[in-house]
Chain A
């Protein structure tokens, strides 16, 4: 499973790196889908961090489920969650309880990494305190600029807002605070004239 090579980045899009072990009193690791492979690589570099690691794994919306392998890695605490929304309160508590020396790692989809960064910032950590590594799907989390609802796992452009039903195109504009790209109505000027959806964010 290879790392993703993004094209030239838009200016508001975060830049992702490669997870590397940092010395710390504890490690919060959040992964989804193919991000499990980055966790395996991280632990292979520094097996001693496992005992102090709290690993949260969410199977990918694209069907990738590495939870059997994740459970077997030997993390001090392991939790498998169905969605980020379901596990968010747990992550917020761990971030809030974290002592100096807590290291945070997020890997998998942009949506997952963006939400971990957002919650870490809200907990008072600087946004670059979270190490990130992109793996797997390019699916985007997109906020409808009209109704403000967020649609998860957007793979096509345009797409239909899961809240208000408008046809949206994905503007190359990303908010770290919302951990989302911006979706804008594509047929406002010509209602019903919607170009065919293309799979842009597989």
Chain B
């Protein structure tokens, strides 16, 4: 299969030509293991999963890779503040570059290669047509800082957290596919500070437990969890900065178009301890799937209906879909016959 056959030529903006293939629908990381949802720390070891699933490799490179990287470049052209790194975070950026290059080259040798001779590295990224020789740990040999360089070539947002004073500090990031939070505002904050706007979870102790857990995170033992929200149209850049541009789209959903335009937005969040800097890398990978594609899996259709219908108002408000919830429940109810669903989130075979 040639590169052009695998990677879609599509957009996440304007005419929104993004589309999941039948294979991508089948492997969509549906985030609800049960028929209801409430916050939890829900972390598990990030170990290789089923072949073909989004967990098969350390980083999932899928059919949307090339188009997502084009979209990232577009967002950065419009707003360079989406990528920032405080001066002391450069070493963590190199750690991240190494992690991604080694993982990509190991897991996708048909697309990426990395050869090393001491600190002289040679990186080839065939899908994006990049051939780069550089000196590891020498910033002057790359066209931009190491975090920016590698995250322009990797799907998902990335933040880097420094660890000191028994806390984590968000001090670098590449954030162009975010669910309504601002790196430019949050950079420099401690763990509880940057989570301040999340309702309920503080009182439940979720962040205290999560921080305690993450401070102990070991190199070589990454973990993962899901998060989710809803997005109208396959727009990756749902930033607060651009909310006046994308917010109005939420008001144009109808019974007729909701199946195509309403998307479940799932974040596969992974956490890696980095070896030199002792920082934590936090990739936040966004997957989108339209309601009409989701309901092709009967189990997901039933369960999504129940989760959306029963979610507390406070969470539906925070996740930004309270105004369209009645329309969503109405649409999804057509596909819920009340039958029980099997445990876990894999689609029924």
Given A145-B182, A173-B185, A189-B247, A10-B196 contact (CB < 8 Å): yes
| A147-201 residues at the B interface, CB under 8 angstroms | 148, 166, 171-178, 182, 184-185, 188-191
A38 CA to B241 CA, complexed, in Å: 38
- Report the count of interface residues on B (CB-CB < 8 A): 26
Asked if residues B244 and A188 are in contact (CB atoms below 8 Å), the reply is: yes
Asked if residues A173 and B323 are in contact (CB atoms below 8 Å), the reply is: no
Which among A11, A12, A146, A174 is the interface contact of B243 at CB below 8 angstroms? A146
Chain B interface helix/strand/loop/mixed: helix
Asked if residues A12 and B240 are in contact (CB atoms below 8 Å), the reply is: no
Chain A interface helix/strand/loop/mixed: loop
Which residues of the other chain, B, contact A174 by a CB distance below 8 angstroms? 193, 196
Interface centre among B192, B194, B202, B247 (most CB of A within 10 A): B247
Asked if residues B182 and A182 are in contact (CB atoms below 8 Å), the reply is: yes
Asked if residues B189 and A12 are in contact (CB atoms below 8 Å), the reply is: yes
Given A184-B240, A185-B243, A188-B244, A12-B251 contact (CB < 8 Å): no
Interface centre among A12, A176, A190, A191 (most CB of B within 10 A): A12
Asked if residues A175 and B248 are in contact (CB atoms below 8 Å), the reply is: no
Minimum CB distance partner of B202 in chain A: A11
Asked if residues B185 and A143 are in contact (CB atoms below 8 Å), the reply is: yes
A173 CA to B199 CA, complexed, in Å: 12
A13 CA to B193 CA, complexed, in Å: 8
Given A11-B193, A184-B240, A176-B182 contact (CB < 8 Å): no
A7 CA to B53 CA, complexed, in Å: 47
A191 CA to B244 CA, complexed, in Å: 9
Asked if residues B185 and A182 are in contact (CB atoms below 8 Å), the reply is: yes
Asked if residues A185 and B244 are in contact (CB atoms below 8 Å), the reply is: yes
Which among B184, B185, B186, B196 is the interface contact of A172 at CB below 8 angstroms? B196
A10 CA to B266 CA, complexed, in Å: 27
Asked if residues B196 and A188 are in contact (CB atoms below 8 Å), the reply is: no
Which residues of the other chain, A, contact B185 by a CB distance below 8 angstroms? 143, 145, 173, 175, 178, 182
With both chains docked as a complex, state the minimum distance between the C-beta of B60 and any C-beta of chain A, in angstroms. Answer: 30
Binary A-proximity of B70-110 (CB < 8 A = 1, otherwise 0): 00000000000100000000000000000000000000000
Binary A-proximity of B242-278 (CB < 8 A = 1, otherwise 0): 1110011011000000000000000000000000000
A175 CA to B182 CA, complexed, in Å: 11
Binary A-proximity of B277-311 (CB < 8 A = 1, otherwise 0): 00000000000000000000000000000000000
With both chains docked as a complex, state the minimum distance between the C-beta of B203 and any C-beta of chain A, in angstroms. Answer: 10
Which residues of the other chain, B, contact A12 by a CB distance below 8 angstroms? 189, 192-194, 196
Minimum CB distance partner of A145 in chain B: B240
Q: Cβ of B188 < 8 Å from any Cβ of A? A: yes
With both chains docked as a complex, state the minimum distance between the C-beta of A197 and any C-beta of chain B, in angstroms. Answer: 19
Asked if residues A185 and B182 are in contact (CB atoms below 8 Å), the reply is: no
Which residues of the other chain, B, contact A176 by a CB distance below 8 angstroms? 188-189, 193
| B158-210 residues at the A interface, CB under 8 angstroms | 182, 184-189, 192-197, 202, 207
A182 CA to B241 CA, complexed, in Å: 11
A160 CA to B174 CA, complexed, in Å: 30
Minimum CB distance partner of A121 in chain B: B188
A104 CA to B242 CA, complexed, in Å: 39
Minimum CB distance partner of B190 in chain A: A12
Asked if residues A11 and B248 are in contact (CB atoms below 8 Å), the reply is: no
Which among B184, B187, B196 is the interface contact of A173 at CB below 8 angstroms? B196
A191 CA to B193 CA, complexed, in Å: 31
Asked if residues B241 and A145 are in contact (CB atoms below 8 Å), the reply is: yes
Asked if residues A173 and B197 are in contact (CB atoms below 8 Å), the reply is: yes
With both chains docked as a complex, state the minimum distance between the C-beta of B329 and any C-beta of chain A, in angstroms. Answer: 19
Which residues of the other chain, A, contact B207 by a CB distance below 8 angstroms? 11
Which among A10, A146, A175, A177 is the interface contact of B241 at CB below 8 angstroms? A146
- What would 7 A/B residue contacts be, using CB atoms closer than 8 Å? A11-B195, A166-B244, A173-B185, A177-B187, A177-B188, A188-B247, A189-B247
